[in-house]
Chain A
Amino acid sequence: MRLEIGEIIIDDVQFGNSTKVENGTLFVNADEIKSIVLEDEHISSVDIDLAKPGESIRITPVKDVIEPRVKVSGNGGIFPGIINKVDTVGTGRTNVLKGCAVVTCGKIVGFQEGIIDMTGPGAKYTPFSKLNNIVLVIKPKEGLKQYDYEHATRMAGLKIATYLGEATKEVTPDTVIPYETKSLFEQADLYPDLPKVAYVYMLQTQGLMHDTYVYGVDAKKIVPTLLYPTEIMDGAILSGNCVSACDKNTTYHHLNNPIIKNLYEKDGKEINFMGVIITNENVYLADKERSSNFTAKLSRYLGLDGVIISQEGFGNPDTDLIMNCKKIEDEGIKTVIVTDEYAGRDGSSQSLADADPKADAVVTGGNANQLIHLPPMEKIIGMLDYVDKIAGSFDGSLSEDGSIVAELQVITGATNELGFNKLSAKTY
């Protein structure tokens, strides 16, 4: 499967009479966006705002971040099984508006949905402060249940990202990057002397506000299976995960998974990148046994020498992470796990809620318990009334001047467990 990613570099976003790209500026027609969002009868109103790098803006509570993409050629459409038909994607050409994103906000529940600061110390911890953001603040119809509100907000973000991609489909990309994974035997023959490496991609799947979708299927109902990496770049995996801002994978993270990108960079040089095994993080322990048996079995079946495993979330997924690691190691396959840490404010406590001696190669995305001081911003997009109800903040977090003292876990993407951030630690 071969996919070309055509990157259209966006270095500014402005409101305009029509949605288009001119000289690196994305113009967006707010009326059209509004009418698309309000097609959903569950939504009473939407405020559309722009937030650019360096501006004194705080966005909260953030639910999802989505990169606009469009399929220019090849099978199917972006976000298959949700926005487009459930065709197999991952081939042909996909154009990306690189440097901008759609951000959805809504107080679906009264706690913990994340902060993006566009400047100041908080901005350093989130990759989304570097983007030109089109922010949708979505308000529900009176009495709408949390399940329906979450669904409506998720769909609004996906629809607007698709709309922006479609509206700029004819723009010539600034760069085109090819990615290719061949069929199993062909790929194995391509670099027979290099170690065969795959990626075990753990998806958050625990229930309301903790869900992930694969081709439209709720991933808690899958058994682990294989995907071509390029399918993921076309939106085969979507986030319905609104809890734990710092280490949830937004849809933007899935589309731009840095582990996949890095494995492709090393493909044919240091390793032979064989593909992606997706798996879930259910709560029922028998489901964990089954899923980790499958990841180990598939790793063996593919004849792998090494596996990278990433997790999403805290606590319950730590057990899946360790089970995957241990069982794959037991097959004689080397593993590296990618996680973050809840190691206490001073970083000295046990980082994960599970452990095994075989988990001896670990990449960390940082300590989510670390305290951070966020100075006030001139403008708030969204609502601040729940900031002291966000994960990692506490009574009195929000001062009268608008400043916040809280743990790093308040910031969207701060300790992302795909490594899509700047934090880590090195042991020498």
Chain B
Amino acid sequence: MNSYILITNNPMVKKNLIEKDIFFTNKSLLGVLIECRNHIHKGHKLLSHPLSSSVKPNETPFKSVLISKSASNLDYRSLEIIESSILSTKKFISNAPQPKWPDKILDDFMLIDYSVISNTIDSIK
């Protein structure tokens, strides 16, 4: 049984990582981060960095984040990281909104996010 929940809006992650504890959402990248923050407020801990990859949050539409399956007291460090990640994401979006990407590029973004989160899951296992 996994010790984590994977929150993602990346269809490639959903398709290839057959996870029992996957939380798939159709929301934007910012929506994924806010979903993570909601879980953190309920006592889940952040396990992977929300600003993973050097692809900027106003470029890639896709994001996958790992949080702990168990929940206890509010973890302030998790809250600190998710809040500054949300702040950073909003800053980038206000600079320039995400372009309308062709499918080929969307596939590339999915692949990068998938690679990064797969490597992270390998670290946990």
Contacts and interface: CB of A to CB of B under 8 A. Distances in A.
Interface residues of A, number: 47
A111 B108 contact: yes
A313 B102 CA distance: 26
B42 interface: no
Interface in B66-125: 66, 81, 84-85, 87-88, 91-92, 94-96, 99-102, 104-105, 108-109, 111-112, 115-120, 123-124
Nearest to B66: A284
Contacts of A354: 81, 84
B14 interface: no
B49 interface: yes
Given A206-B116, A284-B120, 15 more contacts: A110-B102, A112-B55, A206-B119, A209-B112, A248-B54, A283-B52, A283-B120, A285-B46, A286-B47, A350-B84, A353-B87, A355-B84, A389-B99, A391-B59, A394-B99
Contacts of A389: 99, 101, 105
Contact of A315 (B49, B104, B112): B49
A425 B2 CA distance: 47
Nearest to B58: A394
A207 B103 CA distance: 22
B95 A208 contact: no
Contacts of B116: 206-208, 210, 283
Contact of B52 (A315, A355, A391, A409): A315
A423 B102 CA distance: 34
Residue among B87, B88, B92 having the largest count of chain A Cβ atoms under 10 Å:
B88
A349 interface: yes
A344 interface: yes
Interface string A384-405: 0000110110110000000000
Contacts of A45: none
B16 to A, nearest CB: 14
Interface of A: 109-112, 146, 204, 206-210, 220, 241, 243-244, 247-248, 282-288, 313-316, 318-319, 342, 344-345, 349-350, 353-355, 369, 388-389, 391-392, 394-395, 407, 409
A230 B102 CA distance: 45
26 contacts: A109-B105, A109-B111, A204-B54, A206-B54, A207-B53, A207-B116, A208-B116, A209-B115, A241-B54, A283-B117, A283-B119, A285-B46, A315-B54, A315-B85, A315-B88, A316-B51, A342-B56, A349-B91, A353-B87, A388-B99, A389-B99, A389-B105, A391-B55, A391-B56, A394-B99, A395-B99
A409 B96 CA distance: 13
B124 to A, nearest CB: 6
B48 interface: yes
Interface of B: 46-49, 51-57, 59, 66, 81, 84-85, 87-88, 91-92, 94-96, 99-102, 104-105, 108-109, 111-112, 115-120, 123-124
Contacts of A288: 49
A210 B108 CA distance: 14
Contact of A111 (B49, B57, B59, B118): B59
Counting from the closest, the 7 A-B pairs by CB-CB distance are: A315-B51, A208-B115, A244-B54, A109-B108, A207-B116, A207-B115, A110-B105
A283 B111 CA distance: 16
Nearest to A392: B56
Q: DSSP class of A's interface residues: helix, strand, loop or mixed? A: loop
Contacts of B85: 315, 353
A206 B47 contact: no
B115 A287 contact: no
A220 B87 contact: no
B104 to A, nearest CB: 5
B87 A350 contact: yes
Given A314-B51, A315-B88, A350-B91, A207 B118 contact: yes
Nearest to A317: B54
Contacts of B48: 283-285
Given A110-B105, A342-B92, A243 B55 contact: yes
Contacts of B115: 207-209
B51 A112 contact: no
Given A146-B111, A206-B116, A395-B99, A319 B54 contact: no
B54 A207 contact: no
B95 A345 contact: yes
